[in-house]
Amino acid sequence: MAWSGPQPQRHAPPNQRPTSPVGWGDVATRRDLGALDNKIETIADRLDSKIEAVGERLDTRIEAVADRLDTKIDAVADRLDTKIDALADRLDTTIEAVADRLRSDLQRTFVTWMFAAQGAVIAAVGLLLALMR
Decide if 115 is inside a domain.
Answer: no
Decide if 45 is inside a domain.
Answer: yes
Range of the domain at 86: 29-105
Decide if 72 is inside a domain.
Answer: yes
- Rounded distance between C-alpha atoms, residue 55 and residue 47, angstroms: 12
Decide if 129 is inside a domain.
Answer: no
**Residue scoring higher pLDDT (41 or 11):** 41
Decide if 51 is inside a domain.
Answer: yes
20-73 residue pLDDT tens:
555 556 677 888 888 899 999 999 999 999 999 999 999 999 999 999 999 999
Decide if 41 is inside a domain.
Answer: yes
Decide if 58 is inside a domain.
Answer: yes
- Rounded distance between C-alpha atoms, residue 73 and residue 81, angstroms: 12
Q: State the first-to-last Cα distance of the chain, in angstroms, to the nearest integer.
A: 141
Q: In the chain, how many domains are there?
A: 1
Percent of the chain predicted with pLDDT > 70 = 80
| Sequence-distant (≥ 6) Cβ neighbours of residue 20 within 8 angstroms | 26
With contact defined as beta carbons under 8 Å apart, do 50 and 42 qualify?
A: no
Q: What is the pLDDT of residue 33?
A: 87
Decide if 67 is inside a domain.
Answer: yes
